Amino acid sequence: MTRPGVQADRFRDLMAAVCAPVTVVTTTTPEGPHGATVSSFASLSLDPPLVSVAFDNNSSMLARILSSNRFGVNLLSNGQQDIATTFASRSEDRFAGVRWHFEHGLPRLDGAAGWVECDLDRAVEAGDHTLLFGLVVATSRIETAPLIYVHRTFGTHSRFNERPRALIVDQIAACAS
């Protein structure tokens, strides 16, 4: 006998307390660039390198990624909450007013803390969402505080700026030896 699941509101409130990275997942179709804010991004495997993201089964972004078989993940930086809000809206042109460029045919947002370029490995439908597994084919990052979302608020890891870092002189000396 299967027990009934918990009420959606209780589950949503619990998950609001889980700290999540804020990302904008992008893809391109013949109609142009597309993007959506996603907080379900996760590392999945190192061999092969896989990540996962999830979309509502009725999402137009899901259909576009299944059509293109490719997607990019822009890990937003602290201070890019306006971009997160724009790409979470129902705006027709989410890229208007946002600095971005194509990288290997995928839309990449300028100033993002990280970039993950993926070929679609597989899609698994689960409940009202579909989990996409992406084979990571390229990555890059910049040294900046990432944007996170918890308790329905944007922010960053509070200790990021306190993290000890080697002086640039020490880094240059280490590279020279």
- Cα 35 to Cα 2, 12, 14, 80, 111, distances in angstroms: 38, 23, 27, 15, 16
The domain defined by 19-171 folds into Pnp Oxidase; Chain A (2.30.110)
Q: Which helix (H) or strand (E) holds 93?
A: none
- Give the predicted TM-score (pTM) of the model: 0.88
Task: Reply yes or no: is the peptide bond before residue 48 cis, omega within 30 of 0.
Answer: yes
Closest of 33, 32, 48 to residue 137, by C-alpha:
48
Domains of the chain, residue spans: 19-171
Token couple for 85: 């809000």
Full pLDDT tens readout for the chain, 177 residues: 778 889 999 999 999 999 999 999 999 999 999 999 999 999 999 999 999 999 999 999 999 999 999 999 999 999 999 999 999 998 888 999 999 999 999 999 999 999 999 999 999 999 999 999 999 999 999 999 999 999 999 999 877 777 777 666 666 666 665
Is the alpha carbon torsion for 55, 123, 72, 16 positive or negative? Answer: positive
How many H helices and E strands in the chain?
4, 12
